[in-house]
Each structure stands twice: as C-alpha cells, then as structure tokens.
Amino acid sequence: MCGGGEPLWGWGPRVPSPLLLLSLLSTAPLGLLGEETRQVSLEVIPGWPGLPQNLLHIRAVGTNSTLHYVWSSLGPPAVVLVATNTPNSVLNVNWSRLLSPEPDGGLMVLPEDSIQFSSALIFTRLLEFDNTNMFDAAAETPGKPYPPYSLAEFSWNNITGSLDPATLSATFQGRPVNDPTGAFANGSLAFKVQAFSRSGRPAQPPRLLHTSDTCQLEVALVGASPRGNHSLFGLEVVTVGQSPDCPSMQEQHSIDDEYAPAVFQLDQLLWGSLPSGFVQWRPVAFSQKQGSRESALPCQASPLHPILAYSLPQSPIVQAFFGSQNNFCSFNLTFGASTGPGYWDQHYLSWSMLLGVGSPPMDALSPLILGIMAVALGAPGLMLLGGGLVLLLHHKQCSEYQSIN
Ligand SMILES: *[C@@H]1O[C@H](CO)[C@@H](O)[C@H](O)[C@H]1NC(C)=O
Ligand SMILES: *[C@@H]1O[C@H](CO)[C@@H](O)[C@H](O)[C@H]1NC(C)=O
Ligand SMILES: *[C@@H]1O[C@H](CO)[C@@H](O)[C@H](O)[C@H]1NC(C)=O
Ligand SMILES: *[C@@H]1O[C@H](CO)[C@@H](O)[C@H](O)[C@H]1NC(C)=O
Ligand SMILES: *[C@@H]1O[C@H](CO)[C@@H](O)[C@H](O)[C@H]1NC(C)=O
Ligand SMILES: *[C@@H]1O[C@H](CO)[C@@H](O)[C@H](O)[C@H]1NC(C)=O
C-alpha cells in the first residue's frame, strides 16, 4: 500500500514470518538508544509589517550539532531542513531578498561549511477524487480527480497566535484565496508543526516514536465541503535534493500494533546515505479528532517521480536556500478507501509524519508483545526470564544496601 508493495493493511490477525521476527528482535535494542536531548527553541522570524507572520525557525542544539527546521507558508507550505556539525550555527534571513522575484541567498545557515546535510519538502496541492463508483477495493486509482487545490493559492494565518513554547508547536492554517463555491467557508487546512527536546511518543495515534532530531507534522483538513458524496482527499508532496536521484521509499513491517492499532507497517523516505534526512509515517489517517481503530483510514503513497521545476509553484524559502539549481521529485498520498470510514463522516481528516536527520527512530517490541512472546516461548523461557529477574532484584538489593553504608 503506502510505498506500493504488498498490502499490509487490514484488521485481521497476522502471522509474522520467522525472518521478520528475527529482524525485529535484532533491531529492537536500537530503539532503546537515542537518548540524546537537545535544546529546542521555536522562533517566529518577524517579516515585513502588514504581512502575516509566516516563517517559523526551529533550532535544535545538541553537544556538537545543530538542526535547523525552517517552515513557511510563503508560497506553498514548505520546510527546509539543515543539519550542521556545530552547536553555534545560525539562520540568516534577508527579507528583501526572500520576498523578491529572485530570492536566491535570502535564507542562509552560517557558517556555511558546517552544513552536513540539507533538504526540503514542499506541499504543493490538496487533491480530491470522486470515489463514488469505485467498488473494487483493490483498485489502483483513488477515482476521477477533481481539479486540485493549489496550496500556493491559499491564504495562511499569522502563526504567532498559535505558537506554543510549552509544547514546541505552531500551526499554519489556510484556505483558498479564491473560493467561488464556498467549499472552505467553514473549513481550513492546517499544518501543525511540533518539535521535541527528547524522545517519546505523543498520546494521539498513530503515536510515532520521535527523537530530539525530529519534527512532527500533522496535516488536518477540517470542515471543508467535499465536491462529491464520496470524495477521497490526497496531498501532493515534492522533495528537494542536490542529487538527481529521488529519495528512496521503504516499508518496514512489524508484528506489533500496540501504538497504532492494526497498522503493521511504517513507511519511510530516505535521502541517500548517512548523514541524511528521512520522512517517516504510518500508512494511516483518521476521520475523527480522537484517532481510533474505528476512524482509521488507509493511506497510500504513489512512487516518487522526478519533476521539472517549471511545473511547480515556486517556494521562496526553497529557492532562497538552495538557489535555482535543484532536483525535485514528487509523490502523492491519498487517504481513505471506497469502503470504511471517510472524510464524509465528520468532514475531518488528519495524517501525521516525522521529518528528521540521521537514523530514523525504530520501534522496539512493546512490553505487551514481549510478554506474549515470553508466554509463547513456554516454561523454559519463563524460567530464564524469572532467573534474570531474580538476579536483577538481587543486584538492586545489594546496591541499595551498599548505598546505605
Ligand atoms: C561530539 O563531541 C564529542 C566531544 O568533543 C566527541 O567525543 C564526539 O565524537 C562528537 N560527536 C560527533 C558525532 O562528532
Ligand atoms: C539583503 O539583500 C539586498 C538585496 O539583495 C541587499 O541589497 C542587502 O544588502 C541585503 N541585506 C543584508 C543585511 O545583507
Ligand atoms: C501576528 O499576531 C501577533 C500576536 O497574535 C501580533 O502581535 C502581530 O501583530 C500579528 N502580525 C501581523 C502582521 O498581523
Ligand atoms: C457554514 O456554517 C454556517 C453556520 O453554521 C451554515 O449556515 C452554512 O451553510 C455553512 N456553509 C457551508 C458551505 O457549509
Ligand atoms: C449525493 O447524494 C445525494 C443524496 O443521496 C444525491 O441526491 C446527489 O445526487 C448525490 N451527489 C452526487 C454528486 O453524487
Ligand atoms: C498526483 O495526482 C495528481 C492529480 O491526480 C496528478 O496530476 C499527478 O501526476 C500525481 N503525481 C504523481 C507523482 O503520481
């Protein structure tokens, strides 16, 4: 599904292959690492008076590296991510250049030679498909496309009001500038951006495991009138890179669905070799604010294709940072299927992803699954486990005793 491989979406129980189990066991300890914390700050970079504030700088400082995430709704919503090998790198914005027809050099991370990796994502269009007569659930196409909404032709809010330093989050909320049918009269598209100073998991599904190297984006379409009774929505995403090759799409499979009910897959996009960037998501979207199994929709991703710059709306921040010589690739995400819950239920749709640099966070097996496996391993396994516990407790008692002395 997402990624175009064999479908892994479904509610039924699944039998993992021994290979999958083995690979999960061997990768499990990795998830326990990555305890590094960062000093994370969010800053709205003041623009010109009269224009809505629309440039958000997330700076995440570690012991000898700094990550910069620059999100903006100048043009289509976009993010530039830059990793440097110093705790002292800074973002430099020249507004007069950034807002000019040739923004090259309007956005810089200094010192330039500290940059280890840089890339960007642009969210170009909101797609809508008429899924009315798609009775074949396995159909490859989501239906007949309606004219897409260009996100470059949206007007976006002033993000200052939504900036929350406590949760390290801010929201870009927009609606079409021209809306002749009034589809967005009561609706909006929101991009909620959140950073993290340590690793963890949000309370809301799909509960992606994050680290301080990552940033989460939740896209929510709320209250907009669909053009059909059975509309499926989608998002066109463009990746930016210096290599002519598109980032590679990967699927990770898991037997463990404790954090994202009945979703046994994690999709990721990787830009070349390390240190490199990644995008990670579970192939699930939700049709209610309280994401649950009942409101879960499948999310499908098309393969990535190179795309020519002239066919894209210009993203000033991307051109300001990368100049005009770039390689763009695009892919489509579509949310929902002809059966099951959909946007039509409550006029609500949300989907989340993580963006980061370095090794993507990997789920270890959850305690629940480890417990089930211990039972499955039977008495000898339990005895081994028990023996380990006794040793552990014994050791703890000893150390407590020593500390009292
Ligand atoms: C970060 O700095 C420490 C101490 O100077 C050094 O030991 C470590 O190798 C550095 N890490 C990286 C990734 O450069
Ligand atoms: C910003 O860019 C403009 C136009 O390119 C240039 O004239 C100006 O000197 C720049 N400002 C700074 C502070 O570099
Ligand atoms: C944006 O919002 C902030 C606080 O809500 C306000 O102080 C600022 O003047 C606004 N800026 C613009 C350009 O509307
Ligand atoms: C928007 O909401 C108002 C008040 O709830 C309602 O009267 C109107 O019909 C709605 N418009 C659309 C396009 O849904
Ligand atoms: C949507 O459903 C209503 C009532 O079921 C029907 O009258 C209408 O023709 C349908 N619209 C479309 C575009 O299929
Ligand atoms: C995404 O969907 C739009 C609308 O259907 C289509 O024009 C475009 O070619 C698709 N892009 C990819 C990469 O499949």
pLDDT digit string, tens, across residues 258-275: 666 667 788 999 998 777
Q: What is the mean pLDDT of residues 38-51?
A: 89
C-beta neighbour count of 378 within 10 angstroms: 9
Specify the DSSP class assigned to residue 160. Answer: G
Report which secondary-structure segment, H or E, holds 21.
helix 18-27
Look at residues 302, 285, 183, 236 and name the one whose alpha carbon lies nearest to residue 76.
Answer: 236
Burial degree of 317 (CB within 10 A; 0-12, 13-18, 19+): buried
Look at residues 372, 396, 397, 401 and name the one whose alpha carbon lies nearest to residue 385.
Answer: 372
Q: What is the pLDDT of residues 322-338, one digit of tens each?
A: 998 889 999 999 999 88
Q: What is the pLDDT of residues 281-306, one digit of tens each?
A: 999 999 999 888 889 999 999 999 99
Whose alpha carbon is nearest atom 2 of ligand 2? 97
Q: Is the pLDDT of residue 202 over 60?
A: yes
**Phi–psi pair at 217, nearest 5 degrees:** -120, 130
d(CA 312, CA 238): 9
Structure tokens at 254: 């898991």
- Quickly state the pLDDT bin for 384 (edges 50, 70, 90): low
Q: 298: cis peptide before it, omega within 30°?
A: no
Q: Which residues line ligand 4 (CB under 6 A)?
A: 182, 185-186, 225
Q: Cα separations (Å) of 28 from 137, 256, 288, 364?
A: 34, 12, 32, 4
Q: What is the mean pLDDT of residues 72-81?
A: 96
Structure tokens at 376: 């499955």
Contact assessment for residue 66 and residue 57, using Cβ atoms and an 8 Å cutoff: no
97 in contact with ligand 2, CB cutoff 6 A? yes
Q: What is the pLDDT of residues 212-225, one digit of tens each?
A: 999 999 999 999 99
- Which regions of 289-391 does DSSP assign to beta strands (E)? 296-301, 305-307, 327-335, 348-357
Q: According to the model, what pLDDT value does residue 400 have?
A: 39
Distance 119 CA to ligand 2 centre (A): 24
Distance 332 CA to ligand 6 centre (A): 6
Q: Is the pLDDT of residue 16 over 70?
A: no
Among the bound ligands, name the one nearest to the CA of residue 87: 1
Contact assessment for residue 43 and residue 59, using Cβ atoms and an 8 Å cutoff: yes
d(CA 150, CA 155): 11
- Would the pTM count as exceeding 0.85? no
C-beta neighbour count of 231 within 10 angstroms: 22
319 in contact with ligand 6, CB cutoff 6 A? no
Distance 85 CA to ligand 1 centre (A): 10
| Mean pLDDT of the residues in the chain | 82
- Quickly state the pLDDT bin for 2 (edges 50, 70, 90): very low
Q: What is the mean pLDDT of residues 376-401?
A: 51
